[in-house]
Structures are given as structure tokens and as C-alpha cells.
Amino acid sequence: MDIKSYIAEKGKKAREGARRLATLSTRIKDNALLSMADALEREAERLRLENQKDIDAAKKKSLSPALIDRLTLNEKRIREMAKGLRDVAGLPDPVGEITRMWQRPNGMQVGRIRVPIGVIGIIYESRPNVTADSAGLCIKSGNSVFLRGGSEAIHSNRAIAEVMVEAGSKAGLPDGAITMVDIVDREAVMEMLQLDQYIDLIIPRGGEELIRTVTANSKIPVIKHDRGLCHTYVDEYADMKMAQEICYNAKVQRPGTCNAMETMLVHRNIAAGFLPGMIDRLRKGGVDLRGCPEVVRMDPSIRAATEEDWNTEYLDLILNIKIVESMEKALRHIETYGSRHSEAIVTNDHPRAMSFLREVDAAAVFVNASTRLHDGGQFGLGAEIGISTTRIHARGPMGLEELTSAKFIVLGDGQLRE
């Protein structure tokens, strides 16, 4: 069978599976998730053997140690995957919730009820745990999942999917609930992106190149999980101690994440009091600093930031610092360079806090808190499938509710259109 027919056939089955999944009881879905979790732990040895093939291939191709680490499935990571599935089983089922109901003058009741989206395609890279995490969230929210992982994790992904499909089937999931496209060929992705009759949403998880390719070629709506170039603005009315803690946390706690701070903006009126201690602390944390001319004048050992620096998502222990003469200037800087992901202000001035919240265009806007808190778990949404940077459907962490949509229901007693 050629790739096109192979993908189309899998898509058709996923669509059929989605129809059955949509009306499956919470109990069956939860039992299936728990069975899949048990099966992953029971089959840990098989998973590790398959994973070893991927690691050997990666070493042969001299892939970076960081990539090989991300690829590696050890016992702890397998336990984490299983725990993730159990956590999702414990979350409330979003499907079937009537979110609103109202009466019209003609007496009919109109309402909105949460329903699954249908078939969700996930296109991702390297980390094999995405296979289990995505499948768990999609199944719980009543969606079929159509997975296409990276070629470097093909053996691991295939094994995880097989174990989950086996356990899920036994627990009552329909055929087609979980589909793994295990064709390494890039054409498989291209074909998948054309299947708008079978796949309702594509979520790419990976680097910028992957996201660009998917967006440019998909006939199916795409919700992107794109880069985060995040700022913290320390206002002149900030509590300096709090500001130092928040900025340090936002930069240092885990610099490789999309919600870490890349640029700190400091109001001029507080700069002389705030910056020396802050700079000292950041340096002790191993942070390489770059500054605007005014910062460099204040501390000539800091390198001057270039236009490119303001535009860079470092994902590393590097930070730009800029002194601004007003909150207005901070807002303009964020508008120009921010990636609309996570933006924070530290201030004790209420009107400034409120106008920052209102005016800043980002998936999440913070007052007096670290941008690192931009996360489904931290926000109380339970697990998340990622952080959306698309401007429709859902912005920010996508949990179970964001993997659903709503249909209208109408209860009448003979209403007609006049």
C-alpha cells in the first residue's frame, strides 16, 4: 500500500473511533487510562529494549547528548508516563457539561454542551513521553488521537502506542482511538496534513522548523505551541525584594523553557536602587548579562545588547536588561519584541497593574508573579497538552476543556421559524 492510502485508511478508522469515543462513559475512559498506565509499567522491559534501538541509532548518528537524554526512557520516566495517565484519569470529564442554557421569547431553551473536537493529530519530536501524555489527554476528552512522532524515537513511540492500544482495547476503547503513524518518511506528515475529512485539529509540538512546515502545509486547523520571548517589567513602584525574587525565578529556575524570562525591563526611577543587587544575584546564578546603553554605563562589565539580542529566545542562562523611562516604553518594548506568550509586571501601584493586565497582548499576563508559573498544572487545569500561541480556540495552557468544543442544543415544543 502506498503512503497516501495507508494514512487515509488510518484516518478513516480514527474518525470512526472518534464517533464511538464521543459518547463513551467516563468510567470506561478512566478504566482504560488506568489499564494503559499499568500496562506501561508491566511492559517496562519491552519499552526499554525498543528505546535502546533508538538510542543506539542516535549515537551512531552522533546526535547531541541533550537530544539523546530527551530520547531516553528509563524506569523513572516510564513511571512518570504511567503516573501522568493516572492523574488524567482522576480529572473531571469535560464532555457533556452544559455550560449555559437560556430561554428565548418563543419558549425554546437554547444551550451549549461540551463535546469532543473529534480526531486530534499530534506531530512531535524526540521525547517519547509525549506519546503517552497526548494520548491520555485526548482519550479522556473523548477525542481520537492521531500521533506522528519523530523518526529518532520511532521504536520507542511504536512500542508505547502498541502497549496502550492493547490495554485500551481490552478496557473497551474503540478501534482507531489511538493511531500511531510509524512511517519515517516525511511524506507521511504531508499526507496527514491533507486529511481534513478525517482529522479536525493539528497540534505540532517541537521546534520552529517543525511548526513552520506544519503551518505552511496543513489544510487542517493548527494550534501552535510556538516560542516564548517573555519579559518582566520592574515598575518604579515595585517591592524591590519581591521583584528580585520574581526575576531570579523567571530567569534561573529553568531557563530552557518557553515561559522563562529573556529580557528584564526596569523603570529608570528604581534602576540605581534595584539593579546592582539584582545583577549581583543573577551573576551568582551563572547568568550572562546583556544591557542597553544605560545599563552598560551603570556597569561597564555588561556587554551591550544588540538588536538581535532583544529578538532572541535564549532558552539559556542569558538575560537582556533594559532601563525604560516609563511604563509606556516598557509596553512598547514588549509589543515590539514579545512573542505574546508570558509577560509580567512587578508593581504595587494598582492602576498600573490593571492597565498592564488589560493592555498587554499575551497568552498569560502576570502581576507580581513569575512567568514560570505559566503552566496548566500551576493554573489548576490539570495536565496540559502544551501552551497555545494561536489566537483562536485557546490561548495558553491547553488542558482537557481546551480539547473540547461546544455544540448548541435546542429544546422546543414545536417552535418554527416565522
53 touches a copy of itself by CB under 8 A = no
- Binding footprint of a copy of itself, residue count (CB under 8 A): 71
338 touches a copy of itself by CB under 8 A = no
Cβ closest to a copy of itself, residue 253 vs residue 306: 253
Q: Which of 44, 246, 264, 271 binds a copy of itself (CB under 8 A)?
A: 246
Stretch that binds a copy of itself, among 30-38, 39-47, 100-108, 169-177 (CB under 8 A): 100-108
- What's the closest the beta carbon of residue 143 comes to a copy of itself, in angstroms? 10
DSSP per-residue letters across 295-361: HHHH-TTSEEPPHHHHT----SSEEEEEEESSHHHHHHHHHHH--SSEEEEE-S-HHHHHHHHHH--
Kindly give, in sequence order, each residue whose CB lies less than 8 Å from that of residue 182, ignoring residues fewer than 6 positions away: 154, 157, 158, 161
365 touches a copy of itself by CB under 8 A = yes
350 touches a copy of itself by CB under 8 A = no
Q: Which of 368, 382, 383, 386 binds a copy of itself (CB under 8 A)?
A: 368
379 touches a copy of itself by CB under 8 A = yes
Query: What's the rounded Cα separation, in Å, for the pair 44 and 204?
Result: 27
CA dihedral 296, 274, 329, 373 (to 10 degrees): 110
Helix (H) or strand (E) holding 397: strand 396-397
Q: Which of 48, 127, 231, 395 binds a copy of itself (CB under 8 A)?
A: 395
DSSP per-residue letters across 38-53: HHHHHTHHHHHHHHHH
5 Rama sector, left if φ>0, alpha if ψ -120 to 50, beta otherwise: alpha
408 touches a copy of itself by CB under 8 A = yes
416 touches a copy of itself by CB under 8 A = yes
190 touches a copy of itself by CB under 8 A = no
Q: Which of 3, 57, 67, 242 binds a copy of itself (CB under 8 A)?
A: 242
- What's the closest the beta carbon of residue 195 comes to a copy of itself, in angstroms? 12
Query: What's the rounded Cα separation, in Å, for the pair 362 and 75?
Result: 38
Site for a copy of itself in 27-46 (CB under 8 A): none
How many residues are present in the chain? 418
What is the strand order of the sheet 261-267 is part of?
303-304, 288-291, 318-324, 261-267, 230-234, 342-346
Site for a copy of itself in 254-273 (CB under 8 A): 254
What are 383's strand-pairing partners? none
Q: Residue 243: how many CA atoms within 13 Å on its side-chain side?
A: 26
Q: Which of 14, 22, 122, 167 binds a copy of itself (CB under 8 A)?
A: 22
Cβ closest to a copy of itself, residue 242 vs residue 317: 242
Site for a copy of itself in 201-230 (CB under 8 A): 201, 215-216, 219, 221-223
- Cα separations (Å) of 52 from 10, 13, 63? 28, 31, 14
Q: Where are the beta strands (DSSP E) in 105-148?
A: 109-116, 119-124, 144-148
84 touches a copy of itself by CB under 8 A = no
417 touches a copy of itself by CB under 8 A = yes
Provide the 10 A C-beta neighbour count for residue 208.
11
358 touches a copy of itself by CB under 8 A = yes
- What's the closest the beta carbon of residue 322 comes to a copy of itself, in angstroms? 20
Site for a copy of itself in 117-156 (CB under 8 A): 117-118
The DSSP output letter for 402 is G
Stretch that binds a copy of itself, among 112-120, 123-131, 272-280, 284-292 (CB under 8 A): 112-120
